[in-house]
Structures are given as structure tokens and as C-alpha cells.
């Protein structure tokens, strides 16, 4: 969890007070620190690239804001895309097709054709997809997503690598997939797995790397093909709680690359961090609009809800909250922080010790850069909020606040209903 600078009790983001940003751009408001974004990318890239050639594929489903993507394109990142929409979004900001790996699940023929048309490599998820792809195009380089029987993640809903997962080809069938790809005139060049999201332990990453090395070696021994890359997917977590320790990515990079270098002939190591790169770069600013006590519990009512940040409602996720206009002040009372959505589950934070809240205070929900904006909605006919990028005292609007007209724009009432 990031520690922010403070000036006379005011929390600073990118050299600007959070209160000033809220007054200028309104609330709710996502604020992203560009310097932190660049630093996170460089940290994870260096942790692995100092040992062997790598490709860092930013898992853009975490945050697809065009400005965020442009920053990472400038940093030299590659992309992990899971839809044709993500592919086209990344192409729009300057990523070339060779820097994008497409890993879909339950992909339609139309989407496969579109990805092939863009010249983007496909990471194949099933035998059915393999055969449909070969009917569309041959001679293309491909990779395979294997289900490694290794799972990790902060919640059952984000564990993806266990047996019987909807993702990937079962480990015991993966060699049949490579053989069939060759017979169908496709060119296998990689192997991929993803174990889950938000893991803080090194051990599952070691396990999945062992599995992928085993697959790569079998492909070489049985088919005479030396794969170009091993891709361990994403899932590197961050410390959302103040008392959590950050994963040692230097250690992770040293261990995993050594395994690949010593135990295989694969030349490139690939990984797909999303949360690690963007989560702690962004806070969600929200204004206190109500304070009440009921049933022995004190609530701070704010103008942001799970329409802005769904993770606490969907995954029971913890996000640290602070009162930014009294940043660093001693806690005095326990509160639940509740949003305006008409659902009992619209609680952003439970049982938090905070300074005594006052109407008009400004709350910051930390670590909101991953799966905040991208999973936001217009539920309760609430327009999506604005987003701002800050660095060195400069603030730029990178997403305009929606209006009700934006919410209703594509709806139509048949003329016969207006009679």
C-alpha cells in the first residue's frame, strides 16, 4: 500500500492536493499518478529482464484508459488482450500487432477472424478454437493456454488455473493440441498458463513455471520444436492492507528465470502483470454526503459506490480508506463507508477506524487502479465518473464525466409507444 505525501494535513497526489483535484474535477473521481505507473512498470520489467530476454504483457483488462495505455506503450510494454475490443483499443494508442498476445475464452468465429485480420498472435484456449482458427487461417504462429492444475488468487472467483477451470486445455491433453496444430499447418511457438489473480506467494509461480518447462521440453523432445517463449500469465498481487508485505519481485524474477534458463532451451520469458502495474497508482476520491448511526453502527455515506468500484461487493475485497483533508490525523471512531447505490452490498469499507467524520469531508479509497474504472457501470442510472492523470503538479483530464445523456444515448423508444 502506497504512502502518500502530506502538506498541512492535506493528502497530495502527484504534487497536487486531493482536495484541489476534487474541487476542480468533481467527485467521484479516479486520480492516477503517472510517475507511480511508470515506476511500477520499470520495477517489474527490471526484476526479470536483468536475467534473460523477457516480454512484459500488461494485462490491460485491469485498466484500459487510453492515457494509461499510452504511458505503458512509451515504456515499451507489450499487451495481454482478452477481447477484440481490447486489441483495437491498444492498436489505437500505438501498440503494434507484434506486441499484443490475444488470449480469449469461448471465442466466436467472428472474433477469431477479426484478431487474425489485425495480425495479432492468438493464444489458443481449446481444441475447438484450434480447429476453427485453422479453418480461418494457416501458417500463423500460435501459443497454447494450458490448465496447469495450479491455482492462486485472493478469492475463489479469480482462481483460474485449477483442474476443471473454464480456461485452457487440460495438462494431460496439451501434447495432443501441439501435434494437431502442426498437422493443421499452424506454427506453435509458446506455452502459457494463468493461475489466478492477486497472489502474494512465490510458491504457486514456481509450480506453474515447472509445469510450463515440462510442456516445453516435451514439445521439443516429441515434436522437435523449440518453443520461443514460456508465459506464466499474471496474478502478482499487491498489499491492499497496511500490514501486508509486498511481494519480492526481484526474488521472483531471479528464481523463475533461472529455472527456465537451466531447465529448458526456451529463449524468452513472458509474464502478464496487470494489478501489479496499475492498482496502487490510482485512488478513488469521494465526498462525504451523509453521516448516520443505526443499529449500533456508524455509517459514512459517500457519493461513490459499487457502480464506481465493485471489488468490495463482488470479491469482499479490502481497500484502505483515508480522510484526505485530515490526512495523518489520529483515528477516533469506527465507521462503515457506504455508497449511494440502492443495494445492501454497496459498502466500500467495513469497520474502519477514522478521524471523526464531518459532512463534506473528502474520502480516498486507495489502490483503485485495477478493476475500478474497467468494471464500473451505470447501475441506478448513475453516469460513470471522471478520471484524471497527475504528475509533478500537473493534472490532465483523461476521461470526461458522463452525463445522463450518455447513459441514455443508445436507447430507443418505439414510436408506437409514444402515441
Using alpha carbons only, how large is the chain's radius of gyration in Å?
A: 23
User: Residue 144 and residue 292: Cα distance in Å, rounded?
Assistant: 54
Report the C-alpha dihedral over residues 263, 151, 275, 342, rounded to 10 degrees: 170
Cis, peptide link before residue 28, omega less than 30° from 0? yes
Q: Is 253 exposed, middle or buried (CB count within 10 Å of its CB: 0-12, 13-18, 19+)? A: buried
Nearest of 59, 65, 111, 99 to residue 80 by alpha carbon: 59
Residue 267, CB-side half-sphere exposure with 13 Å CA sphere: 5
Is-catalytic flag, 342? yes
Q: How far apart are the first and last CA of the chain?
A: 57
Contacts of 39 (CB under 8 A, 6+ apart): none
Nearest of 100, 200, 81, 86 to residue 141 by alpha carbon: 100
Q: Which of 60, 78, 342, 385 is catalytic?
A: 342
> Among all residues, which ones are annotated catalytic?
342
Amino acid at each position: 500500500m502506497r504512502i502518500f505525501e502530506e502538506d498541512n494535513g492535506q493528502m497530495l497526489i502527484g504534487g497536487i492536493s486531493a482536495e484541489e483535484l476534487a474541487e476542480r474535477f468533481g467527485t467521484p473521481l479516479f486520480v492516477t499518478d503517472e510517475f507511480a505507473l511508470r515506476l511500477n512498470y520499470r520495477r517489474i520489467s527490471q526484476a526479470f529482464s536483468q536475467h534473460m530476454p523477457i516480454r512484459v504483457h500488461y494485462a490491460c483488462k485491469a485498466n484500459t484508459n487510453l492515457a494509461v495505455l499510452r504511458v505503458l506503450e512509451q515504456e515499451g510494454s507489450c499487451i495481454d488482450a482478452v477481447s477484440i475490443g481490447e486489441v483495437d483499443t491498444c492498436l489505437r494508442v500505438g501498440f503494434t500487432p507484434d506486441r499484443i498476445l490475444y488470449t480469449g475464452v469461448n471465442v466466436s468465429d467472428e472474433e477469431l477472424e477479426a484478431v487474425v485480420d489485425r495480425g495479432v498472435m492468438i493464444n489458443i484456449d481449446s481444441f475447438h478454437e484450434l480447429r476453427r482458427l485453422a479453418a480461418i487461417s494457416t501458417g500463423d504462429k500460435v501459443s497454447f493456454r494450458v490448465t496447469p492444475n495450479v491455482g492462486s488468487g485472493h478469492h475463489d472467483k479469480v482462481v483460474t488455473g485449477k483442474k476443471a477451470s473454464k480456461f485452457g486445455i487440460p495438462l494431460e491433453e496439451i501434447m495432443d493440441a501441439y501435434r494437431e496444430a502442426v498437422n493443421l499447418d499452424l506454427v506453435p511457438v509458446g506455452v502459457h498458463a494463468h493461475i489466478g489473480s492477486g497472489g502474494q506467494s512465490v510458491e504457486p509461480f514456481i509450480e506453474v513455471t515447472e509445469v510450463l518447462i515440462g510442456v516445453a521440453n516435451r514439445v521439443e523432445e516429441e515434436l522437435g520444436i523449440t518453443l520461443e517463449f514460456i508465459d506464466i500469465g499474471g496474478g502478482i498481487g499487491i498489499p491492499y492492507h497496511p500490514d501486508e508485505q509486498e511481494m519480492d519481485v526481484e526474488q521472483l524474477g531471479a528464481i523463475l528465470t533461472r529455472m527456465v534458463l537451466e531447465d529448458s532451451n526456451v529463449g524468452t520469458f513472458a509474464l502478464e502483470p496487470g494489478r501489479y502495474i496499475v492498482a496502487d497508482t490510482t485512488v478513488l476520491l469521494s465526498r462525504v454526503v451523509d453521516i448516520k448511526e443505526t443499529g449500533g453502527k456508524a455509517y459514512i455515506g459517500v457519493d461513490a459506490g459499487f457502480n464506481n468500484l465493485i471489488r468490495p461487493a463482488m470479491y469482499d475485497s479490502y481497500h484502505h480508506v483515508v480522510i484526505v483533508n485530515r490526512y495523518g490525523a489520529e483515528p477516533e471512531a469506527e465507521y462503515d463507508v457506504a455508497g449511494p447505490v440502492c443495494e445492501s452490498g454497496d459498502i466500500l469499507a467495513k469497520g474502519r477506524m477514522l478521524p471523526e467524520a464531518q459532512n463534506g469531508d473528502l474520502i480516498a479509497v486507495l489502490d483503485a487502479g485495477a478493476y475500478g474504472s474497467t468494471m464500473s457501470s451505470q447501475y441506478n442510472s448513475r453516469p460513470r465518473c471522471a478520471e484524471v492523470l497527475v504528475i509533478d503538479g500537473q493534472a490532465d483530464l483523461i476521461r470526461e464525466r458522463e452525463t445522463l445523456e450518455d447513459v441514455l444515448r443508445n436507447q430507443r423508444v418505439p414510436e408506437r409507444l409514444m402515441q
